[in-house]
Amino acid sequence: METGNPRDTGTAGPRQPRQPEQPAEAAATTAAEAVTVGAPAAPGDEPRWIALPPGLLKVRRLMLVVWLGLLTLAAGLVPGLLAGPGWAAFALLPLAVTVWGWVMLERNWRSWRYAERSDDLLISRGVLWRQETVVPYGRMQLVEVTSGPVERHFGLASVQLHTAAAATDATIPGLVPAEAERLRDRLTELGEARSAGL
């Protein structure tokens, strides 16, 4: 039922449907997404964690299948040929370890992450025993990018951090080479700036 004067035409035009307000959580998410990748967090901010790329998981699973596959074959063939077919059941043990390792490698890969803060770099890892390493930029003496033959074949590299105290040395494995070089250059620049200010 409408109220008001039916002769009153009004000048506001047709009524627009009311737009729902954006929830505060969505606004916070949009603001968080606006932060550029690799930029260190401001003092007092929560660290923005960066996960490792999936290439590292693929390489580790491939190595698991190759080595334990050969062990499974040897554990089945050698006893089966020498002692009888029943002894070939020994191959089930390395096969079970392969299945268990397949799952655990993914859990371990998911546990690795790092975050650049204003004064230090955080590296977190571990499934059963979590380990978080804090590497102050001012303590860094050497940052290097390494890549072995297998890593190079799959387009991966590791960043190794060497500090004044050996206990705070750290490694971030399985990075894309471009990200590894960016991180090396960024950490070297921050380390020089912090050590110059000491």
What secondary structure does DSSP assign to 10-66, as a single string?
-SS-SPPPPPPPPPHHHHHHHHHHTSPTTPPPPTTSPP--EEPPTHHHHHHHHHHHH
Strand order through the sheet with 50-51: 50-51, 113-116, 120-125, 131-136
Please compute the mean of the pLDDT values over residues 86-114 and round it to a whole number.
89
Query: Does 3 score more than 90 pLDDT?
Result: no
Eight-state DSSP code of residue 7:
T
Output the average pLDDT for the chain: 78
Q: How confident is the model at residue 196 (pLDDT cuts 50, 70, 90)?
A: low
pLDDT of residue 35: 36
pLDDT of residue 45: 62
Listed range (17-21, 25-29, 71-75, 152-156) with the worst mean pLDDT? 25-29
pLDDT of residue 56: 93
pLDDT of residue 44: 55
Q: How confident is the model at residue 40 (pLDDT cuts 50, 70, 90)?
A: low
pLDDT of residue 104: 95
pLDDT of residue 152: 92
Query: Does 29 score more than 60 pLDDT?
Result: no
Query: Does 82 score more than 50 pLDDT?
Result: yes
Listed range (71-80, 101-110, 115-124) with the worst mean pLDDT? 71-80
Please compute the mean of the pLDDT values over residues 172-187 and round it to a whole number.
94
Query: Does 71 score more than 90 pLDDT?
Result: no
Q: How confident is the model at residue 43 (pLDDT cuts 50, 70, 90)?
A: low
pLDDT of residue 93: 87
Query: Does 136 score more than 80 pLDDT?
Result: yes
Strand order through the sheet with 170-175: 140-146, 157-163, 170-175
Quote the CA–CA distance of 20 and 187 in Å, as a whole number.
Answer: 44
Instruction: Please state, as a whole number, how many other Cβ atoms lie within 10 Å of the Cβ of residue 14.
Output: 5
